[in-house]
Amino acid sequence: MTAVDTNILVYAHRSDSDLHEPALRALTGLAEKGERWALPWPCIHEFLAIATHPRIYRPPSPPDVALDSVRVWLCSTGCRAIGEGPGYFGALGRVVEEGRVVGGMIHDARVAAICLHHGVTVLWTADRDFSRFASLKTANPLL
C-alpha cells in the first residue's frame, strides 16, 4: 500500500505550484489504479494548515476548497485515512529510536510510525528527511 505525504498533496491541490502538474498526475494515477492507498491523518491536517495559510499562499485556499480536495481523495477508489491505533506506540518508539529523532522531527516520526503500523510499503514524499527511517521505503513520484 502506498501512502502520500503532505507535500505531494499540497502540490497536487495548488495550481500555482511549480510541481502542480506532476503531482496531480501522480496522485490521479494512484487513485485510478484502484489499488489500496492511504492518507495519514497528520498529513491531512498539515495539508489543510498549509493550503489555507495566508502567509504561505496569497491567496490561500479557502477552507471549503481545501476540505473538498480531501473529500475527493478520501472518496477515490482504494483510499483510506490511517492514524494511530492499538499498538501504534510501539511503532512510534521504534521509529524514534531508529531515526534518533528529537524535537520537530517527531512529526515525521509520527507519520512514519503510522505508515509502518498500517503496513504501508512506500511513502510518496518530496521530503528527504524521511530517509532517516530505514524501515520505511520512500519514493518521490515527481522525479
**Domains of the chain by start residue, with CATH:** 2-138 (3.40.50.1010)
CA 72 centroid distance within chain? 15
Where does the pLDDT of residue 46 fall: very low under 50, low under 70, confident under 90, or very high at 90 and above? very high
pLDDT band at 22 (very low <50, low <70, confident <90, very high): very high
Cβ–Cβ under 8 Å, residues 6 and 129: no
Q: What is the pLDDT of residues 99-110, one digit of tens each?
A: 999 999 999 999
What is d(CA 17, CA 57) in angstroms, rounded to the nearest whole number? 10
Q: Distance between CA 131 and CA 39 in Å, rounded?
A: 19
Position 113 scores a pLDDT of 98
What's the sign of the alpha-carbon dihedral 87, 88, 93, 95? positive
- The answer to whether 111 touches 5, Cβ cutoff 8 Å, is yes
- On average, the pLDDT of the chain sits at 97
